[in-house]
Amino acid sequence: MKKHINKIAMLITGLLVVLAMVSADAADVTFTSIKNTTALIRDLDGVDARVISEGPIPSLAVLIDAGITASVNRVIVDLSDTTNYSHTATNEIFMVGYDFDMSLLAAGNWSYTYYIVTAIDGSGVMAKAFAASFTNLAGAGNQKKYAETPGAGIKLSNVVTADVAIAAITLSTDLASPSGTVNAAVGDVILVITESGGTTSLIGFAGIYYYTQ
């Protein structure tokens, strides 16, 4: 499964970074949920992915941000949404890989952090961080990070780390997602994009490879 994820990552990263550069002047967000990686894998190397026995074929949720100038929060995997995402089970998420690609036009400090939501109410969300990438660039530049998980992936509900309180996200907070505007819920993957210094805007790409059970 890992060699196919590598090929998908290379293809998607190339395509989406080009799109982000084209959109650099627009302070907006473009979301894409790729519903079936089987076709991509078959196109890439002629292998019918349905015969691969290493594990489930992962779905890929992708976020492109062009021209962000302040910290923002997103839902990148909506566990309950089986219409706009390719997954059918809604009990929990297994991560098999992730991708970050951040470009700055000038000096700045930004971070991308993935969290799994463990609790949420009207006062805020409790969540566990499981992946992050940081930039601290003295000038214009680019930072990339790609990682795969071992075996059949990581069951995100088994992540052992302290819960973090995020008061800016509550039951009624509208957040952008690949399926439109949604409210976060327990079991969802959220993406927190934080500006901690500098005045430049961010062009960013984030992707997560996952499946559900």
**Mean pLDDT confidence for 136-162:** 84
The whole-number pLDDT of residue 33 equals 38
Of the two residues 19 and 102, the one the predictor is more confident about is 102
Contact 130, 154 (CB under 8 A): yes
Q: Where are the alpha helices (DSSP H) in the chain?
A: 2-22, 37-45
Q: Which candidate, 210, 213, 164, 158, places its Cα nearest to that of 189?
A: 210
Question: Residue 194: which pLDDT band, with cuts at 50, 70 and 90?
Answer: confident
What dihedral angle (degrees, nearest 10) is formed by the CA atoms of 174, 98, 113, 192?
-20
**Mean pLDDT confidence for 118-134:** 92
pLDDT one-digit tens code per residue, 164-193: 999 999 999 999 888 889 999 999 999 998
Tokens coding 103: 């470009």
- pTM equals 0.73
The whole-number pLDDT of residue 67 equals 78
The whole-number pLDDT of residue 15 equals 44
Helix axes 2-22, 37-45, angle to 10 degrees: 100
Question: Residue 83: which pLDDT band, with cuts at 50, 70 and 90?
Answer: very high
Q: How far is CA 125 from CA 110, 165, 167, in A?
A: 22, 6, 6
Q: Residue 9 pLDDT > 90, yes or no?
A: no
Pairing mode, if any, of strands 108-121 and 189-198?
antiparallel
Contact 197, 71 (CB under 8 A): no
Tokens coding 138: 């003295």
Question: Residue 84: which pLDDT band, with cuts at 50, 70 and 90?
Answer: very high
Contact 187, 125 (CB under 8 A): no
Q: Where are the alpha helices (DSSP H) in 56-121?
A: none
pLDDT one-digit tens code per residue, 29-47: 333 333 333 333 333 333 3
Domain boundaries, the chain: 2-212
Question: Residue 212: which pLDDT band, with cuts at 50, 70 and 90?
Answer: very high
**Mean pLDDT confidence for 102-124:** 88
Q: Which residue has the tokens 């500006």?
A: 195
